[in-house]
Amino acid sequence: QVQVERFAYDVVVIGAGGAGLRAAIEARQQGKRTAIVTKSLFGKAHTVMAEGGCAASMGNVNAKDNWEVHFRDTMRGGKFLNNWRMAELHAKEAPDRVWELETYGALFDRTKDGRISQRNFGGHTYPRLAHVGDRTGLEMIRTMQQKIVSLQQEDFEEHGDYEAMLKVFPECTITELIKDGDRISGAFAYWRDSGKFLLFETPAIVLATGGIGKSFKVTSNSWEYTGDGHALALRAGATLINMEFVQFHPTGMVWPPSVKGILVTEGVRGDGGVLKNSTGERFMFGYIPDVFKGQYAETEKEADAWYKDQDNNRRTPDLLPRDEVARAINSEVKAGRGSPHGGVFLDIASRLPADEIRRRLPSMYHQFKELADVDITSQPMEVGPTCHYVMGGVEVDPDTASSVVPGLFAAGEVAGGMHGSNRLGGNSLSDLIVFGRRAGLGAVSYLDGLAERPTISESDVDDAANRAVAPFDWPTEGQAENPYTIHAELQQSMNDLVGIIRKEEEVQQALDKLVELKERARFVAVEGRREFNPGWHLSLDLRNMLLVSECVAKAALMRTESRGGHTRDDFPGMDAQWRNTLLVCSSDERGTHAEVAAKPQEPMREDLLELFELSELEKYYTDEELTQHSGRAG
């Protein structure tokens, strides 16, 4: 009998990034006993790495901005496949959520007249990203953590215990969700340092575990991004949508090899940096796709003038949505016009004075100086695409963030729908605070409607413990497998075969490889004990990565068109018949096998549809879909 420490909470939030912290703050403020469980250190979530900023149409720098423009930009960025209700809520609520962060103590950079400053970013019509230099995520996490401490101080006053209502479990990894019938009843976890087990008894769980990037070799993501929340949701009976859409950020470092994939913020281009190929050409002018023709500058002169006068010039194509820029860089490199180390050049040195570069982009300056010995105030950077963000995630109700499993909620990168086929930069940080709060509220109202608390069966706890220790049982027959080898092979295969450009034979090869890896993963064995054992942790993460990768590959195979973060070499065009189709992934309870099925998405509400010109919609929609549009009715 393994020992399991037990805790009981009203709400358990898994993940301490922006989405998790905001959800937990809400649940606690509504009077619920809340736990925050995070597999990394408290304060070291992915959100902390966010650089460029948080999108909200406050209109501080350009008064023409408003939620409708933000909504339109978001739908365009996602190629009209977004869950439009999420995009609407996000655009409407982001400004209030940013203001609220200031009430928690955040201090964003200011305009000259003292308002929150906003910067340009790809796909956003107006300067829209509230930022703190290029360290915005750090400020968001810092202030939300501070808010949590202040709530704990209030709890001490009332209960004599700082952790009476809100407790953080750092370096604690959830491996299983437990159900009572069809609804959530708890979660099973281990402590990273001691390897000891814990059980959370809880009717409501908010998944806020972030993304899946560690399934790819070149990525801007760090070690926690192993798709745990996606896989936990699947195994609990929830569904994932949009998994074929993986964002490759156009500008990751390409050199030296040890730092390949580390992000170079879009803020560099937002602040004036331009992309160039080996001949010195600003090649993005040659890559404006038809759907964006007329919206972007066609000459260098106009593009440069736009930085100073946005009313009379169109924006630079260096700031097209990320999928477009990533594909363009890929094509330049393929055509032999790349930089020495297989990327292209990103030049800010010739565009801004050195002092200004150091002031606006301090992290980028240090990153290149320390990691690549490049001084970005005098030399161009070498950059190329890197796996950055997954648009796909748990299928949720837009208003409450609830999944199809009663008691299971999801917010932030682990949730799907909001960004459609491609996320605009800056729209994640705002997504976290808008839907983090909504997930907290969703969990609270679920709890309030609950007649009795669900229970946990002891056999489920034993099963979870047995599965967790399985990698210590060496196989008696056959070869024991090393988790690091399987991980490396998975990353290589996803990178090469289900990466930025895909084709049927290659995705099929990846799926065959996944079958092989899943079989071998059954024999993964680790040495040593449960204390601080990274090999063991990886073995447990592996089954999540394998399941989630299967979803990505299967959905990528099924979608026979190119859209946003899914480019099929064999189906290069966007196909209007596919626009409103969601690919929905599900799995069996053990997560041994993923299935994908197509289903239509609910059509956009008419008043929202009317926010777009008919001529624009015609680029994306089928004729039948537009019969009701007022532009046609006349």
Which residue numbers are catalytic? 322
**DSSP code for 311:** S
465 binds ligand FAD (CB under 6 A): no
Write down how long the chain is.
634
Which H or E element spans position 551?
helix 534-558
- Residue 71 beta carbon to ligand FAD: minimum distance, rounded to whole angstroms: 16
Q: What are phi and psi of 344, to 5 degrees?
A: -130, 180
Amino acid at the residue 124? H
23 binds ligand FAD (CB under 6 A): no
What residues contact 87, with CB distance under 8 A and at least 6 apart? Answer: 71, 74, 75, 78, 418, 420
- Residue 294 beta carbon to ligand FAD: minimum distance, rounded to whole angstroms: 27
**Which of 148-156, 221-229, 235-243, 370-378 is the region at the interface with ligand FAD (rule: CB under 6 A)?**
221-229
The partner residues of 130 in beta bridges, in order of sequence, read: 54, 118
539 binds ligand FAD (CB under 6 A): no
317 binds ligand FAD (CB under 6 A): no
Determine the Cα angle at 363 with ends 360 and 369, to 5°: 110
Tokens of 574: 């966007």
Chain residues 48-67 in contact with ligand FAD, contact rule CB under 6 A: 49-54
- Residue 428 beta carbon to ligand FAD: minimum distance, rounded to whole angstroms: 3
Query: SS3 of 73, please?
Result: helix
Binding residue for ligand FAD, selected from 45, 138, 178, 184, defined by CB under 6 A: 45
- Residue 190 beta carbon to ligand FAD: minimum distance, rounded to whole angstroms: 9
386 binds ligand FAD (CB under 6 A): no
Closest CA to 205 of 181, 223, 186, 192: 186
Query: SS3 of 413, please?
Result: helix
Binding residue for ligand FAD, selected from 20, 237, 380, 384, defined by CB under 6 A: 20
Asked if residues 251 and 383 have their Cβ atoms less than 8 Å apart, the reply is: yes
412 binds ligand FAD (CB under 6 A): yes
**Which of 1-9, 193-201, 427-435, 474-482 is the region at the interface with ligand FAD (rule: CB under 6 A)?**
427-435
How far is 361 from 357, CA to CA, in rounded Å?
6
Tokens of 483: 């988790």
Binding residue for ligand FAD, selected from 28, 33, 39, 70, defined by CB under 6 A: 39
How far is 591 from 574, CA to CA, in rounded Å?
32
Binding residue for ligand FAD, selected from 32, 46, 518, 543, defined by CB under 6 A: 46
209 binds ligand FAD (CB under 6 A): yes
Binding residue for ligand FAD, selected from 208, 418, 461, 583, defined by CB under 6 A: 208
**Which of 11-19, 402-410, 512-520, 614-622 is the region at the interface with ligand FAD (rule: CB under 6 A)?**
11-19
**Which of 280-288, 302-310, 412-420, 557-565 is the region at the interface with ligand FAD (rule: CB under 6 A)?**
412-420
499 binds ligand FAD (CB under 6 A): no
**Which of 34-42, 102-110, 251-259, 492-500 is the region at the interface with ligand FAD (rule: CB under 6 A)?**
34-42
609 binds ligand FAD (CB under 6 A): no
The CA–CA distances, whole Å, from 325 to 74, 276, 460, 500 equal: 17, 12, 48, 12
Q: Per-residue x/- marks for ligand FAD, 548-567, CB under 6 A?
A: --------------------
418 binds ligand FAD (CB under 6 A): no
Asked if residues 184 and 202 have their Cβ atoms less than 8 Å apart, the reply is: yes
**Which of 38-46, 81-89, 355-363, 555-563 is the region at the interface with ligand FAD (rule: CB under 6 A)?**
38-46
Asked if residues 217 and 492 have their Cβ atoms less than 8 Å apart, the reply is: yes
Comparison of 215 and 277: residue with beta carbon closer to ligand FAD: 215
Q: E strands, 125-242, where? A: 129-130, 166-170, 172-180, 183-191, 197-201, 204-207, 240-241
What residues contact 532, with CB distance under 8 A and at least 6 apart? Answer: 192, 193, 195
Comparison of 447 and 548: residue with beta carbon closer to ligand FAD: 548
**Which of 12-20, 63-71, 73-81, 588-596 is the region at the interface with ligand FAD (rule: CB under 6 A)?**
12-20
Asked if residues 272 and 257 have their Cβ atoms less than 8 Å apart, the reply is: no
- Residue 633 beta carbon to ligand FAD: minimum distance, rounded to whole angstroms: 38
Sheet holding 166-170, edge to edge: 166-170, 34-38, 11-14, 204-207, 408-410
The CA–CA distances, whole Å, from 458 to 180, 194, 199, 470 equal: 11, 23, 11, 18
How far is 305 from 294, CA to CA, in rounded Å?
16
Comparison of 263 and 525: residue with beta carbon closer to ligand FAD: 263
Binding residue for ligand FAD, selected from 25, 26, 33, 40, defined by CB under 6 A: 40
How far is 198 from 465, CA to CA, in rounded Å?
10
221 binds ligand FAD (CB under 6 A): yes
Comparison of 125 and 562: residue with beta carbon closer to ligand FAD: 125
- Residue 96 beta carbon to ligand FAD: minimum distance, rounded to whole angstroms: 17
Binding residue for ligand FAD, selected from 174, 199, 268, 574, defined by CB under 6 A: 174
Chain residues 123-162 in contact with ligand FAD, contact rule CB under 6 A: 136-137
Comparison of 45 and 547: residue with beta carbon closer to ligand FAD: 45
- Residue 387 beta carbon to ligand FAD: minimum distance, rounded to whole angstroms: 10
Query: SS3 of 178, please?
Result: strand
Chain residues 223-252 in contact with ligand FAD, contact rule CB under 6 A: 224, 228
How far is 326 from 120, CA to CA, in rounded Å?
18
Comparison of 89 and 617: residue with beta carbon closer to ligand FAD: 89
Asked if residues 77 and 424 have their Cβ atoms less than 8 Å apart, the reply is: yes
Size of residue set near ligand FAD by CB under 6 A? 42
Q: E strands, 151-213, where? A: 166-170, 172-180, 183-191, 197-201, 204-207
Contact set with ligand FAD (CB under 6 A) = 14-20, 37-40, 45-47, 49-54, 136-137, 173-174, 208-210, 220-221, 224, 228, 263, 389, 412-414, 425-429, 432
